[in-house]
Structure formats: C-alpha cells, structure tokens
C-alpha cells in the first residue's frame, strides 16, 4: 500500500483475500486466479491490514479448517468490528462450524475440494467487468 493510502486506481483493480494456512491450496487458488487479479493470502484476517485495506478487495475466501485462529471469530470481525460487507465465501468446516459462520455473516459455503473450481464463478460475478 502506498504511504498516501488506498487509491481509486487500486480500488478498481480486481482482487481477493484468501484466509488459510494451507500453502498448497492457497497456491492453487492464486494460480487459478490468473495474472489480472491481485490475490493476497494470509493466515488470519488480522494479517490483511486495516479495514480500509481489506475493503480494496472484491471478496474473501475463508478456510474454516485451516485459518490461523478461530475462523468464525474472523468472519464476525470483518462484519462487526470492521463493518465490511464484501462477500465472504467459506470452504471446509463441519456443518456446525458453517452454521456458526453463517450466523456471524458469512455468505456462502463450499466443500474444500470444490473451492478452486468455484473461483472463476466468483471472479466473473464480482469482477465489475475487470
């Protein structure tokens, strides 16, 4: 990020955040995104920066199995503390954890093995023509 903070140019650049400690899966998702999308992988949402830096991204992919810390609390932090309403797509996790994340504001849930295949759908829907 520049010292002057987020810019309109940066806001228009498509990108998304992946919250996971699974380096293999993070790498697969980055590769699937291609070169036109800015992809940032962090172990926890707190590592992604301040709320205004997170807001620059189009969506968040939250690993309910392998986030550093409690993934449900991280969903809540995005919605309540940061007050950010970008889509949060979760993958993995038990039915119970998914239900808890849904109550905290997560948008959709996918099986761990299908998240890479779903990525082009998210990018198409949230690309703003970019």
**Model confidence pLDDT, tens digit, residues 18-62:** 999 999 999 999 999 999 999 999 999 999 999 999 999 999 999
Q: Check pLDDT > 80 for residue 110.
A: yes
Cα 104–chain centre separation: 15
CA 6 to each of CA 51, 100, 127, 129: distance values in angstroms, whole numbers, following the listed order = 11, 32, 19, 21
Q: Decide: 68 and 41 in contact? Cβ < 8 Å.
A: no
Position 127 confidence tier, pLDDT thresholds 50, 70, 90: confident
Q: What is the per-residue pLDDT across 58-83, written as a single tens digit (0 to 9) for each?
A: 999 999 999 999 999 999 999 999 99
Exposed e or buried b per residue across 7-30, where buried means at least 16 C-beta atoms within 10 angstroms of its C-beta = eeeeeeebbbbbbbbbeebbeebe
Domain residue limits, the chain: 8-122
Which contacts qualify for 78-86: CB closer than 8 Å, 24 or more apart? 78/45, 78/54, 78/105, 79/104, 79/105, 80/104, 80/105, 81/51, 82/51, 82/54, 83/51, 84/51, 84/54, 84/55, 86/54, 86/55, 86/57, 86/58, 86/59, 86/60
CATH code of 8-122, in short, is 3.40.50.2300
The whole-number pLDDT of residue 7 equals 72
């Amino acid at each position: 990020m520049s010292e002057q903070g987020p810019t309109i140019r940066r806001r228009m650049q498509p990108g998304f955040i992946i919250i996971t400690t699974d380096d293999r899966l993070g790498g697969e998702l980055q590769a699937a995104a291609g070169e036109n999308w800015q992809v940032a992988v962090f172990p926890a949402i707190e590592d992604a920066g301040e709320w205004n830096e997170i807001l620059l991204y189009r969506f968040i992919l939250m690993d309910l199995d392998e986030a550093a810390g409690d993934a449900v609390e991280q969903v809540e932090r995005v919605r309540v503390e940061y007050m950010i309403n970008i889509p949060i797509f979760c993958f993995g996790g038990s039915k119970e954890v998914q239900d808890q994340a849904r109550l905290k504001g997560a948008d959709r849930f996918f099986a761990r093995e299908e998240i890479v295949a779903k990525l082009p759908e998210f990018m198409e829907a949230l690309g703003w023509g970019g």
